[in-house]
Amino acid sequence: MKPAPFGYADPTSLDEALTLLAEDGAKVLAGGQSLLPLLSMRLASPATLVDINRIPGLDSVAVSGDGVRVGALVRHVDLLHHAEAARVQPLLARATANVAHPAIRNRGTTVGSIAHADPSGEMTSVLALTGGSVTVATPGGPQAVDWADFFVGPLETSVHGPAVVTEAFFPALPPRSGTAFEEVSRRKGDYAVCGAGVTVTLDQDSRVSSARAAYISVGLVPEVHDLTEAVAGRTVAEADWSAAADLARTLVDPDGDLHASADYRRLLVGVLTERTLARAAREASGE
């Protein structure tokens, strides 16, 4: 349970980091809360760790009317307590509250967990649900990558070669919208057996115009499911959220594992969808 030997450098600029990352087997170290266990269990043995923690300018949360830009060194705890960010995009605080335990949130980075692309991670699905993107520093300059083009498979992204994900952008919640996020886990703070994040948007007449969901620990990559057709045009009071839950169950394709069968996960998708949509809708209607 000790990491295999590796080389280590902690550059103070992105350019230096990219130069170091051009070497074979070099890997970025940010919060390390997923990487260090992989090293200790020897599931990963990179030749070099390029620690980006001493690079200035990567630790800011920038909030505007468009959304929230989160730097690569922003810890989960910073987003959890960021009132301005929560006002523009409430899913950020709601989801980070479900990321592991306080000691992990103090160290782990939100952008790092997105770059790690674990299907049981909360922030990958939040990036998807909000229609977000990431900025990737490469030797050729920064590139913006849409969430849909970023996630390729479990623990796999479309980014190859020397690169550092420097920022994640979460668009603002539209007007007349509400959100909710909820997980089921065996123990508090454990990886979710199943989780759901949802947004509901109402039209000018307070009727549902959009209901969308993204799930945690369901499927290999984050996916956004449009559930609008089950509840479109209904008021918040008359919408049948169980119909949306039924639709969600037909759209997902969960796998079974040691922690839960595929059927149980599908059941949870329904339960969490109905519950979170109703809550998000009430919020959208200003209740």
Residues binding another protein (CB under 8 A): 1-12, 16, 19-20, 23, 29, 32-33, 36-37, 39-41, 48-49, 51, 53-54, 100-104, 106-107, 187-189
CB of 248 to another protein, least distance (A): 29
**Which residues 6+ apart lie within 8 Å of 270 measured at CB?**
242, 245, 246, 248, 249
What's the rounded Cα separation, in Å, for the pair 108 and 96?
11
Q: Which is nearer to another protein, 78 or 223 (by Cβ)?
A: 78
What's the rounded Cα separation, in Å, for the pair 249 and 239?
18
Q: Which is nearer to another protein, 74 or 269 (by Cβ)?
A: 74
CB of 17 to another protein, least distance (A): 8
Q: Which is nearer to another protein, 33 or 209 (by Cβ)?
A: 33
Q: Which is nearer to another protein, 50 or 163 (by Cβ)?
A: 50
Buried b (16+ CB within 10 A) or exposed e, 65-92: eebbbbbbbbbbbbbbebeebbebbbbb
Q: Residue 211: helix, strand or coil by DSSP?
A: strand
Residue of 60, 62, 46, 50 whose CA lies nearest to 13: 50
Are 283 and 179 within 8 A, CB to CB?
A: yes
Name the pairing type of β-strands 156-157 and 151-153: antiparallel
CB of 14 to another protein, least distance (A): 12
Cβ–Cβ contacts within 10 Å for residue 160, how many? 9
CB of 270 to another protein, least distance (A): 27
Q: Which is nearer to another protein, 147 or 191 (by Cβ)?
A: 191
CB of 153 to another protein, least distance (A): 23
CB of 127 to another protein, least distance (A): 23
Q: Which is nearer to another protein, 129 or 164 (by Cβ)?
A: 164
